Chains A and B, each alone.
Chain A
């Protein structure tokens, strides 16, 4: 940001402020926010449809996994992209564990050296199976005891992979 020492500072007109009012029947109060949050589960049908599509896409990509570096990279890039979507959507309707596992998978793929060996591929596979389990058993929040067990298994396989690297 050194360039900004010699930069021009501009105050643009606040177009938003000129259109906003304080109070009135259409104002966003705490009650409005609470109701807005309470209404989100109304989108659960679309949510489950979207997550199901994502998990099917992950399953399909898993079947395409090979040891060939080029095609493996293509497969893993797509898995990371879908895991990113799951990360963003999961917690929106309270399925926080989908977000945690999706994010962990994406993070693993971003930092792993490719091509993945057999153990690395197992890390990916187990994360996808975990997403499957969370979805089919509708494990909301942290998933309780089953969630803890899933996370513990994923942590163990990542530690094993890190130790072998």
Chain B
């Protein structure tokens, strides 16, 4: 059966298809426009694409099942900022950073995380949006800091596969926040994370943590993996506590992480040298994989560039399919690699893309 993937780039959305002989280009959408997030609703196949137009702001488009024409729908927007507010942030969406749909559907919610750090929910397939004020109004939100951008942002939204009222979000830089009641109330949940680059009193401040990306295992919803600014963490208790993993070679710095949907012990990362030097270690581009829950890691280079490589992978540019077999990893260089054997080996996809921001395997 043919599989589809969506590659969001600096200059358009590229729809790929794999009919059993590798990925090829099917259609280019929004050519020339920056794509900041994509999600495919697994319940009905609707595709949502967020644009970050350089001049005209964030926009959201929806492609309904069976159609070939996109429809512009409402974009998440903050309410009017109170005139007496002392919040230094502009209450204006700069960018949709992540889109996610409820796994239980149809009729589930669509979620968006933005820069600045707003969480938004739509219950009508993007036709209207509501700011999740229970998180936005938390006093701790005022202490969030920029990470990757000048303003803080929400980049990860993990919805429990069978209990959609349980939601975990990751904030750069604002730690991990969990709700057990459908976003009615929230608690900070980054215990165990560490930011050793901050002064000592702040290093263990849960609200100051910079998780670059968090993903949850579909088959074991208590397991989360986090690529953090300061290394790699895992949670085995639904995000209540986090255990850091040490001694990872070639590096524990990076942005992206993916977890096997059926095996919580299998996860993939794309290491970079360090915060100060965001390129592959020794110019050798690898995908790092653990298959034993993080006890050991194996850097895989088979099929990846053998020549010196300076590719960097952004936090949303690594994805795994629903079977845990096919992966795609895309780089800021515009190069894309595919694996069809759970990351044991890779092949280049023979298209030179614009800089890749996000990858989704449908």
Q: Do A and B form a real pair? A: no
Report which A residues bind B (CB closer than 8 A): none
Report which B residues bind A (CB closer than 8 A): none
